[in-house]
């Protein structure tokens, strides 16, 4: 079974600085999707960024970028120029590709605090 | 607006009183799923449905039922709720196509069973 591990339960960063959240996963599949979701106090699950395993290029969305290391099964999220609105719980998630259960397997989350 | 809706958003009930949490999506997605979120455990899948009348168990299905009679709706049924089902519940729908895969989440339902 696939597993996703987020080893940092909490992190904090000074406003305008850069922070990196770690995620590792375990799978025997060669093709899959990886995601970072943000959950603010409103509890809504918001997709931050998505990576397809067969694409070698790291995904980028504005201030958010990932470092995808397929051989190491590592998928870290870098937030540049941190803003107060980035404060939230961040979840890393995995999904297999192909037909079948499109289940997302989530990590346990990292709570990010932004220090003004 | 493309969205997944859930009702109710908050529910406090007593042990053993049957309840239903509704979920509806307006994106014509074939795949829908229910998750529960508990502190320190992330989100875990309860049940999923790949199309009308096609449902299957996820990782934590005990104590729950689902049905999929229409493509847009996927209600979660707790026939005899217990305190260990106190949790935050999310419904989601998704598509897979040439542009990749994305799962859309509803706003969540906070359930408390006393």
pLDDT in tens, A21-54: 999 999 998 889 999 999 999 999 999 999 999 8
Positive or negative CA dihedral for A5, A98, A43, B13? Answer: negative
CA dihedral A70, A75, A80, A84 (to 10 degrees): 170
Q: How many Cα atoms sit within 13 Å of B59 on the Cβ side?
A: 16
Greatest alpha-carbon pair distance for chain A in Å reads: 46
pLDDT in tens, B86-106: 999 999 998 876 556 788 999
The predicted pLDDT at position A2 comes to 84
Task: Out of B50, B100, B108, name the one closest to residue A50 (CB).
Answer: B100
For A33, the closest chain B residue by CA position comes to B101
Chain A stretch 24-53, residues whose beta carbon is closer than 8 A to a beta carbon of chain B:
33, 42-45, 47, 50, 52
């Amino acid at each position: 079974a696939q597993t996703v591990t987020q080893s940092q339960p909490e992190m904090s960063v000074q406003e305008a600085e850069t922070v990196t959240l770690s995620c590792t996963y375990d799978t025997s599949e060669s093709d899959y999707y990886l995601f970072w979701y943000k959950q603010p106090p409103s509890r809504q699950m918001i997709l931050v960024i998505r990576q397809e395993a067969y694409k070698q290029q790291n995904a980028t969305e504005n201030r958010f970028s990932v470092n995808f290391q397929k051989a190491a099964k590592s998928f870290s999220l870098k937030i540049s120029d941190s803003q107060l609105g980035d404060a939230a719980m961040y979840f890393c998630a995995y999904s297999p590709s192909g037909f079948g259960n499109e289940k997302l397997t989530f990590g346990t989350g990292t709570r990010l605090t932004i220090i003004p | 607006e493309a969205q997944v809706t859930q009702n109710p958003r908050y529910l406090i009930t007593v042990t053993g009183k049957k309840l239903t949490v509704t979920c509806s999506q307006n994106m014509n997605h074939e795949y829908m799923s229910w998750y529960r979120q508990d502190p320190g455990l992330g989100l875990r899948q309860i049940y999923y449905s790949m199309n009308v009348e096609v449902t299957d168990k996820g990782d934590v299905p005990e104590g729950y039922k689902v049905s999929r009679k229409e493509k847009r709706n996927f209600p979660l049924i707790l026939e005899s709720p217990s305190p260990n089902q106190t949790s935050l519940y999310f419904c989601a729908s998704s598509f897979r196509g040439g542009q990749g895969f994305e799962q859309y989440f509803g706003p969540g339902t906070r359930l408390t069973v006393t």
